[in-house]
Amino acid sequence: MELSGQEQSPRSDFVNPLNNMFEAGAGVESSRSRESETVDGQTTHRESESREGHARASVSGNLSEGRFGSEFDVGASAENHESSVTRAETEIGGVQLAAEGGGSADVTAEAGLRSSTEVDLANSTFHHDSRAAVDVNARVDAHAATEVGVGGATLRDEARVGAGTHLGAEVSRTLNIDENGIESRSSASAEAAVAADAAVSRELSYGGNSVQTEARGEARLGAEAHANSHFELSEDRFNAGGDFGFGANASLMGEGTFRSETQNGSTFSTTAGGTIGSVGMGAGGNIGREPGRTSFGIQASGSIVGGLHFNTQATIADRDIAETASAPLAAGGSTYSAIGDGADAVARVTDGMRQSANQRQDFLHEMGSQSTGNFIADTGIAAAESAHGVYRNGVEFADTFAEEAGHAYHAAGERLSSTADAVTDRVERAVGGTLDYAVERAHTGAQYGRAVGGGFIQGLGQGAYNITSLGGLLW
């Protein structure tokens, strides 16, 4: 008997169901746009139009490597914009004057549905973005403004009127987890409204600083509901917050706004108003940190037939915190410098008095050096010379004191100002470093959790792959 030397091999037609790499895609899109601008004297006219439509779908991935991706996007949009602005400027005696007027009309329409997901377990990343929306907007606006500029400062007064309609609904969701951090945003809203509004504002700006006030009124007929949330954590940035609200109205609304900004980047804005003829409520808040600045805000509204609303937002630059801490030193430096300027002004006066006194003293001395032959006259001239010498010495002392005081106070002011700058720099580094370190530590913890979680899930997938492979070999 002879046995064959051939060995039984596993079935070659086995395919591990987790070893499939798949990729498919399809898409179609079309678009059209045009844009023009014409200038006729002092009037600039702009017009633009765009149309777009698209449909795309794709899927790809390799399950054995823990990768998967899908995308679906279908939608269409249209946009028309037309505006015209007339502006005239002149200068009279160093004062810049300007007058401006214009209007615009906008119509936009959009309908779309999209969803995109990417998963990579090997790198512990997850990206998802989805949105479904339908929206139609139409609006017309007009404004008139005047500006007056003197010495680098500009005062602008503006009046605006507008009217529009809006019909829309939207649901969106974003979630990103990767080496940059975690970002999550979600929102849902629906609105139907017709509104007309008017506003007057005044803005004073100089250098990098500005202050603006605004009063606004609105008449509206409509209904809305919304809910939003957001969370963001990266190596140097943190931001979290949310808001919700609903309302129905056939209302009249008035509100006022105050805004300010410093050259260091700090901002403050608060809006408060009242409404007649509405029913609804809402609330929200946020807090955030990025390099060099911290921001926070709060908002609320409530009405039963009539009610109130407010929204306050603030951003505080680290530099402004530091300058506030060193303000006493800076104020002291400015005070000493101002005293020094005052002493310089006094010195300029006493210097003139000293020169005049010296001239008079020389004249009296010349008169006294020549005898008139009259005892009484010569005695009077000598007494006058002696008395004026006392006056001249006093003037010279005052002039010297004022001059030296000016130098001393200016030197003291410069030393205090230099110290204030050094303190400001140190406080800014301390404040910014502490807050940035807290954000960095939170980000590091989140990255550690992401790596552990992604590795665990990938391990489960690899185990499932090994089990199915072993089963195929045995079969």
- Using the predicted structure, report yes or no on whether residue 382 has a pLDDT greater than 70: no
**Per-residue pLDDT band at 11 (split at 50, 70, 90):** very low
Q: Alpha-carbon distance 278 to 301, whole Å?
A: 11
Query: Of 228, 156, 239, 145, which is closest to residue 190 (Cα–Cα)?
Result: 228
Mean pLDDT of the chain: 81
138: confidence class by pLDDT, cuts 50, 70, 90:
very high
Q: Are 183 and 175 in contact (CB under 8 A)?
A: yes
Mean pLDDT score, 385-406: 72
pTM over 0.75: no
Q: Which two tokens stand for residue 156?
A: 């602008």
What residues are paired with 168 via a beta bridge? Answer: 135, 191
- Checking 445-450 for CB contacts under 8 A at 24+ apart, the result is 446/181, 446/182, 446/233, 447/179, 447/181, 450/124, 450/177, 450/178, 450/182
CA distances from 191 to 112, 323, 353, 433 (A): 17, 45, 79, 44
Q: Which two tokens stand for residue 325?
A: 């801490």
Tokens of 140: 């017309």
* Sequence-ordered list of residues with C-beta below 8 angstroms from that of 10, at least 6 positions apart, any chain: 472, 473
Type and span of the H or E element at 431: helix 375-474
The DSSP bridge partners found for residue 232 are 183, 239
% of the chain beyond a pLDDT of 70? 82
Q: Which residue blocks in 212-326 are alpha helix, DSSP H?
A: 318-325
What would the pLDDT profile of 212-263 be if each residue is shown by its tens digit? 999 999 888 888 888 899 898 888 888 888 888 888 777 777 888 888 888 8
Q: Which of 60, 120, 64 is nearest to 468 (CA)?
A: 64
Q: Looking at residue 12, what is its pLDDT?
A: 44
Residue 237, amino acid: R
Closest CA to 44 of 90, 85, 91: 85
* Calpha distance 348→324 (Å, rounded): 35
CA dist., res. 431 & res. 326, Å (int): 13
Find, among 238, 423, 399, the residue nearest to 328 by Cα: 423
The Cα–Cα gap between 12 and 5 comes to 20
Give the pLDDT of residue 330: 74
